[in-house]
A and B are shown apart, each in its own frame.
Chain A
Amino acid sequence: MGSAYVTHAAGYVDNGGPKLVTSRFGYEDSHTLARFEATGGYVGLRAALEKRPAEVHGEVREATLLGRGGAGFPAGVKWGFCPEGVWPRYLVVNGDESEPGTYKDRLLMERDPHQLIEGCLIACYALGLSQCFLYVRGEMALAQERIATALNEAYAAGYVGREILGSNFSVDVVLHWGAGAYIVGEETALIESLEGNRGMPRLKPPYFPAAIGLYGKPTIVNNVETLANLPWILENGAAAYRRYGSESSPGTRMFAVSGHVKRPGVYEVEQGVTTFRDLFYGEDFCQGIREGHELKMFIPGGGSAPWFFEEHLDLALEAAEVSAAGSMLGSGAIIVMDDSTDAVKACHRLVRFFARESCGKCSPCREGTGWEEKILQRILDGHGRPSDIDLLLDVGDNISPGPYPVAAHAAEGLEVVPFPPRQTTICPLGPSSVAPIVSTIRRFRHEFEARITRGDTIPVSAAPATAGGAGA
């Protein structure tokens, strides 16, 4: 407990806990090679190069480094899916951070680009990868600039490219950047985009691009934060890493806490030890809900996650625990909403996001998300129909059939349905649009009903007639 680092408009606050990935955030020049070298930079890479590649892979597997992009799959296991004897192999870094509420990879790329590059090199060495592509979200101009500068410095200094640090190990790391499409964060869509195509997810199986990925070759796709952990792991070892966090979720994670808390910020937190309550109310963290208000609900893992409520505050920040309770930790994006929040409006805004970002490949998502948005819009506009609540749930059921993951609520007789949802689609985007709908209707059905009832009482042309005639 007590491990945290804050980055917010007020600057940077060191709360005295372990900083496995944010150790340089306190320096103004944290993004420069000079600062990086002065603070243990590229030590993990040197340690890796003294080992055999298989040993480096073993170290990462033993550390149980869970993926930080959303699915939480162990990186060491994912790496092991590369088929033997098929070459070349590629590394694609997923820096397309776009999940609503998520703000950590941009910080890691802007503030410590060399740490990320070092992580990429360690992964390439462990797996015999021929080339690394660092795919940065298109809108993140400063991150692109910082990575370009860092790569230029690192190439010149012999850390990247031919015969790295005087060894035989040689690999090129290329900065690539997108152009605005949330779905490209899905790893097969990311690969399509990197091939110069529309960023639409590929049909599964294969479930992992480690089998068939970029140009049809074995490809590892890892999240920025995942790779940023590698220098620390290689410098200090898997055993030291496992001393932080819990047995099933070792290490730390970066959590962006946004919304109605007194001190929103990005916190590096030990996994499985700290609870949501610690994070929201702790003096070292968010310091409570804003003055004069109470917690109404919170989203524990980004816009795609089913919502949590007050009775979930004592759950630990641990992937398995959160999934069992009916949601997900996802991308470390926690959105806190107090009692002033209109549940229907917040639900509509998230559904509008998924409707906008649907790539259009699968019918249930392409048609369904747009339909959901239209229904919610008419409820907000005062034209909701009494049947709309059930219709929303029915449309959701076409995208994600069967019981949808939901947090338990004993008082309301709701039983927990664990994460993840089922899907009639290739990727989880469509099913994600159902999360805010099911979460709000099961808990705040009365808010929908009130809006619909009120809507019934408002005439369609409520505006007073003007001299120019109606509708002028």
Chain B
Amino acid sequence: MSFFDTDNERLAHEVISRYPRARSAAIPLLHLAQEQEGWVTPAAMVQIAELTDSTPAEVFGTASFYEMFKFHPVGKYVVNVCTNVSCQLLGGEELLEHAEASLGVRAGGTSDDGLFTLEDVECVAACTEAPCFTVNYRYFHRATTGSFDEVVADIRAGRSPIHRGAAGDDGELPEHGTLGRVRQHMTDDRRAGIEAPEDVTGAPPWLAAAPDGEG
């Protein structure tokens, strides 16, 4: 029985085609599963195993190493508050406490309405913009308790809060699971050609053709 819907199954094959070995696609496919369902289900891992020449246990072994993969349902919006040093120095821990009180959950928990999961996270690379938090991995810089509440209010009201955050990002805030809203596509006529390492016998033809051979 297949987990991925028709479109995502096609996408999964497209992703796999970009790697010399299918197993390298494991993490992108786990993300795709999470995008479809909001979390990584056992059925998803069974199909990913089939697609990547692995066993479901191996897929779970890989997936469970990485914090972003969830093995139980989480909120539609995963709120990550950074409390690492740069943010701690400027109120990251107080922001987390405010978030806990405001959302009514402790870090790690999901609000009763299933809308928000709150996490206390490590450095997210916005250190000069401390304190900061992300919602579904969209950044909100130089946060205050007030700006946090505005973002939450926007989401509850069905408005995108992205304009309150990082420079350059715009558009809608997707539900948990969707990362980049644009996917890479490689057309067949533009591909250089991706081969399994064992099928490559020598230097790339263009290099062999260069005047002095190897770089």
Contact = CB atoms under 8 A, between A and B. Distances in A.
A333 interface: yes
B66 A180 contact: yes
B38 to A, nearest CB: 15
Nearest to B165: A142
A353 B122 contact: yes
Contact of B24 (A170, A177, A194): A194
Interface string B6-26: 000000000000111101111
A155 B186 contact: yes
B66 A178 contact: yes
Nearest to B208: A128
Interface residues of A, number: 101
A145 B19 contact: no
Interface in A48-84: 52-54, 56-57, 79, 84
Contacts of A152: 182, 184-185
Contacts of B204: 87-88, 128-130, 170-171
A137 interface: yes
A303 B84 contact: yes
Nearest to B53: A196
Q: What bracket does the count of chain B residues touching chain A fall in? A: 35 or more
Nearest to A123: B215
Contact of B54 (A110, A196, A350): A196
Interface in A96-133: 97-103, 105-106, 110-111, 125-131
A349 B88 contact: yes
A357 B23 CA distance: 24
Interface stretch (A33-41, A161-169, A457-465): A161-169
Contacts of A167: 206
Given A142-B169, A196-B62, A346-B88, A176 B28 contact: yes
Nearest to B52: A196
Interface in A215-242: 215-217
A181 B184 contact: no
Nearest to B40: A179
A144 B180 contact: yes
DSSP class of A's interface residues: helix, strand, loop or mixed?
mixed
B72 interface: no
B118 to A, nearest CB: 16
Interface stretch (B106-114, B148-156, B193-201): B193-201
B24 A128 contact: no
Contacts of B141: 9
A170 B206 contact: yes
Contacts of B24: 176, 194-196
A346 B89 CA distance: 8
A158 B190 CA distance: 8
A162 B192 contact: yes
Given A31-B168, A177-B179, A264-B130, A100 B86 contact: yes
Interface in B32-79: 52, 54, 61-63, 65-69
A138 interface: yes
Given A97-B125, A181-B67, A337 B89 contact: yes
Which of the listed residues B86, B129, B203, B210 has the most CB atoms from chain A within 10 Å of its own CB? B86
Given A8-B129, A141-B137, A172-B191, A198 B61 contact: yes
Contacts of A256: 127-128
B149 to A, nearest CB: 19
A215 B203 contact: no
A130 B200 contact: yes
Interface string B149-182: 0000000000000000011110000000011111
A260 interface: yes
Contact of A87 (B127, B191, B200, B211): B200
A455 interface: no
B4 interface: no
A333 B204 CA distance: 38
Contacts of B68: 138-139, 179-180
A141 B19 contact: no
Given A57-B215, A258-B130, A260-B89, A215 B192 contact: no
B214 interface: yes
Closest 9 CB pairs of A and B: A179-B66, A180-B67, A196-B26, A53-B215, A144-B180, A145-B180, A168-B206, A258-B127, A196-B23
21 contacts: A8-B128, A53-B212, A79-B215, A100-B122, A130-B204, A138-B137, A139-B134, A142-B169, A152-B184, A155-B190, A156-B190, A170-B204, A171-B192, A180-B66, A180-B67, A195-B23, A195-B24, A198-B65, A256-B127, A264-B128, A349-B85
Given A102-B125, A144-B179, 5 more contacts: A158-B190, A180-B69, A181-B67, A195-B23, A256-B127
